[in-house]
Amino acid sequence: MIGNPKIIGDHLNAVIAGWDEHADEATFSGLTLAQFKLKVKPSLDARIEIEVLERQLAAARVNRELGERRPGLRREQRALRVVWLHP
């Protein structure tokens, strides 16, 4: 299934929720709800891992920005530019 990962994730969750609520004992395409959950578990687990990593990346970016705002950094940046521009 190729498409927008968010839409796919939302669709999987909606299918599981609807199946669980309305037909938890039924089989579709030869699968029970438990079998279907097991089949899509790697995808759902990867989605959770990606969410965690995206939060960590966002936090690292905030820390980087805060670090770049510290006093004296402008002076360091000017010194680096002078060295870089020096023939």
| pLDDT at position 30 | 95
Distance CA 68, CA 70 (A): 6
Confidence band (pLDDT; 50, 70, 90) for 13?
A: very high
Closest CA to 23 of 32, 10, 35, 36: 32
Domain count, the chain: 1
Q: How many CB atoms lie within 10 A of CB 63?
A: 10
Give CA–CA dist 15/20, Å, rounded. Answer: 8
* pLDDT value of position 54: 95
- Please give the Cα distance from 83 to 37 (Å, whole number): 59
Domain that residue 35 falls in = 5-85
Q: Report if pTM > 0.85.
A: no
Q: pLDDT (tens digit, 9 = 90+) per residue, 57-85?
A: 999 999 888 877 766 667 777 777 777 77
CB 24 within 8 A of CB 33: yes
**Comparing 83 with 47, which gets the higher pLDDT?**
47
